[in-house]
C-alpha cells in the first residue's frame, strides 16, 4: 500500500513539474519579434530579430514619463542596480534578478501641447551587466537626442529641492487623491503657492516617490510611483504648468536611514520613517 502511495506522489510531482515547464515556455513565447538595431555606443550596427512583449501585458499600464537625462546615461557594463537607479524597475513581469532582459514602456512628449508617444525599450544583460539596448520603433531613439534649444541654452542654475514626508502626505499604505491627509494638502498648497510666486518660468518639476523596505520590492515600486503621480496631479490642479511636471517612483532603492531587523515592529516602522518620502527637484528662472 505504501509503495503505491509513493508511486502516486512521484507521478504527481512529475506532472506538476511538466505543467510548470509548460507555463514557463508559454510565458517565454509571448510577444512578437521585430527587426531592431542595438543602440549601445560602439556596438555593431546590424539588425537582429528581437522579441518584445505585448504592451498590454505591462504591469505599469500606459507606461511612464522617463527622465531623458537619466535614460541618456544608460550604457554598457552597468549592473542591474545601476540601471534600476536611473530608469527604475522594468515595466513587465520578468522579475529583477534571474531574467537577462528588462522591458520598459516609456512616454515622450512631442512638443505639441500634452501630446505624447509611447515607446518600448529593452535592456539585455550579459554576465550580470548591461550589454545591448533596443527600441521597438527605431524613431524612438530620436527622443534622446539633445534639442537645439538644449545645446545653446545657458546652463541652468542649481535646482531647488524640497522633501515632504510621505506619512504626513498620505494615509498609511495609500496613494490616491482621496488618501491625501489634511496636513499633506496644506503642505502641497503652500509649495504650489511658493513656486508660483518665486519663479518667472518653471522648466521642470521632477517628483520622486520613495518607500521604506517593508513589503515586496514590486509593491513598493508601484506605491512610490502612484504617490508621485498623485502629487504631480495635485500640483497641476493648483496651477503649476502640467508640461513641466514629471513623476517617478524608485520604491525602496534609495534609503536615507538604515535600521536593524531586530527592532520591534513598531520601532522598526518609526526608524524607517525618513525613507518614506516624496522629493521634488525644481528648475526654472526665478
The stretch 48-74 carries a mean pLDDT of: 89
C-alpha cell at 231: 502629487
105-116 pLDDT per residue, tens: 999 998 888 899
How crowded is residue 99: how many other Cβ atoms within 10 Å of its Cβ?
15
The Cα–Cα gap between 89 and 10 comes to 39
Confidence of residue 40 (pLDDT cuts 50, 70, 90): confident
User: What is the rounded average pLDDT for all residues in the chain?
Assistant: 84
Q: Cα 270 to chain center, whole Å?
A: 26
Q: Please list, in sequence order, all residues whose beta carbon lies within 8 angstroms of the beta carbon of residue 267, skipping any fewer than 6 positions away.
A: none
pLDDT at 172 over 90: no
pLDDT at 227 over 90: yes
156-285 CATH: 3.30.1330.60
Q: What percent of the chain has pLDDT over 90?
A: 56
Confidence of residue 240 (pLDDT cuts 50, 70, 90): very high
The Cα–Cα gap between 196 and 20 comes to 56
Confidence of residue 35 (pLDDT cuts 50, 70, 90): confident
- pLDDT at position 83: 92
Beta bridge mates, 278: 164, 209
pLDDT at 171 over 90: no
C-alpha cell at 29: 513565447
pTM of the model: 0.48
The domain locations on the chain are 31-144, 156-285
Confidence of residue 59 (pLDDT cuts 50, 70, 90): confident
Better pLDDT: 22 or 234: 234
- pLDDT at position 153: 54
| CB-based burial label for 24 (10 Å; 0-12, 13-18, 19+) | exposed
The stretch 251-255 carries a mean pLDDT of: 93
| Three-state secondary-structure class, residue 247 | strand
Q: What percent of the chain has pLDDT over 70?
A: 83
The stretch 137-145 carries a mean pLDDT of: 89
Least confident segment among 61-65, 109-113, 154-158: 154-158
Least confident segment among 100-114, 121-135, 141-155, 254-268: 141-155
pLDDT at 218 over 90: yes
Q: Cα 142 to chain center, whole Å?
A: 21
- pLDDT at position 156: 54
The stretch 74-96 carries a mean pLDDT of: 88
Amino acid at each position: 500500500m505504501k509503495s503505491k502511495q509513493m508511486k502516486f506522489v512521484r507521478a504527481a510531482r512529475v506532472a506538476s513539474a511538466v505543467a510548470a515547464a509548460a507555463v514557463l515556455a508559454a510565458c517565454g513565447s509571448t510577444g512578437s519579434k521585430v527587426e531592431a538595431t542595438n543602440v549601445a555606443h560602439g556596438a555593431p550596427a546590424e539588425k537582429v530579430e528581437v522579441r518584445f512583449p505585448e504592451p498590454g501585458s505591462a504591469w505599469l499600464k500606459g507606461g511612464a514619463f522617463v527622465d531623458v537625462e537619466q535614460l541618456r546615461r544608460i550604457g554598457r557594463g552597468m549592473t542591474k542596480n545601476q540601471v534600476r537607479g536611473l530608469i527604475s524597475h522594468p515595466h513587465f513581469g520578468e522579475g529583477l534578478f534571474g531574467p537577462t532582459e528588462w522591458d520598459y514602456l516609456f512616454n515622450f512628449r512631442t512638443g505639441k501641447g500634452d501630446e505624447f508617444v509611447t515607446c518600448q525599450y529593452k535592456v539585455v544583460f550579459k554576465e550580470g551587466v548591461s550589454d545591448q539596448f533596443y527600441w521597438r520603433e527605431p524613431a524612438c531613439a530620436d527622443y534622446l537626442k539633445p534639442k537645439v534649444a538644449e545645446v545653446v541654452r545657458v546652463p541652468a542654475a542649481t535646482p531647488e529641492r524640497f522633501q515632504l514626508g510621505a506619512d504626513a502626505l498620505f494615509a498609511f499604505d495609500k496613494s490616491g487623491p482621496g488618501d491625501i491627509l489634511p496636513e499633506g494638502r496644506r503642505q502641497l498648497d503652500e509649495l504650489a503657492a511658493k513656486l508660483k510666486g518665486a519663479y518667472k518660468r518653471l522648466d521642470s518639476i521632477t517628483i520622486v516617490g520613495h518607500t521604506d523596505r517593508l513589503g515586496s520590492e514590486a509593491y513598493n515600486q508601484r506605491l512610490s510611483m502612484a504617490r508621485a503621480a498623485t502629487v504631480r496631479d495635485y500640483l497641476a490642479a493648483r496651477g503649476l504648468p502640467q508640461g513641466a511636471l514629471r513623476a517617478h517612483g524608485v520604491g525602496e532603492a534609495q534609503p536615507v536611514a538604515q535600521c536593524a531587523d531586530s527592532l520591534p515592529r513598531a520601532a522598526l516602522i518609526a526608524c524607517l520613517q525618513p525613507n518614506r518620502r516624496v522629493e521634488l527637484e525644481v528648475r526654472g528662472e526665478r
